[in-house]
Amino acid sequence: MKKLSIALVVALLCGAVAMVGTAGARGKAATTVTIKFNGDGFQGKVKSSKSKCVKNRTVKVYKQKGSSQDPSTDKKMFKDTTEDNGSWDTGNSGQAKGKFYALATGTDSCKKGFSKTIKV
C-alpha cells in the first residue's frame, strides 16, 4: 500500500510539473514584425497584443541566402532595439541588394517573430 501511495504522489508531481511547463509556453504572446527598405536603411515595427512585447525588443535584419528564412545560416546584417511604440530603424546603413527579413528575438513572455522577406 505504501508503494502505491508513493507511486501516486510521484505521478501527480510529474503531471503538475508538465502542466506548469505547458502553461508557461501557452502564455507567450505572439509577435509580428514588419520590414521595409527606405533607400538607405531598413525600418519596421514590432506588434503584439502585450505592450511589454513591443518596446525594447531586439530586432535583427538578415540577408536571406536560400529560398526560405533560416537565421542559423543567413547572414545577420543589422541589429536595433525597438522604441516604446515598437518602431525600429537601422539608420543609414547604405545601399543593399538581395533578399532581407527581420527577426524580433523571443523573450520569457513573448514569442519570436519574423517579417516577410523583401527583395531590394
pLDDT per position as a tens digit, 60-70: 999 999 999 99
Is a pLDDT exceeding 50 seen at residue 10? no
Distance CA 20, CA 33 (A): 29
Is a pLDDT exceeding 90 seen at residue 17? no
Q: For residues 70-84, give the mean pLDDT.
A: 97
Is residue 56 very low, low, confident or very high in pLDDT (cuts 50, 70, 90)? very high
**pLDDT of res. 9:** 46
Q: β-pairing, 99-104 with 58-63?
A: antiparallel
Q: How far is CA 89 from CA 45, 55, 70, 96, 99, in A?
A: 9, 13, 22, 15, 17
Q: For residues 27-52, give the mean pLDDT.
A: 96
Q: For residues 91-111, give the mean pLDDT.
A: 94
Three cell numbers at 109? 513572455
Closest residue by Cα to residue 96 from 34, 37, 33: 37
Q: Name the pTM for this structure.
A: 0.77
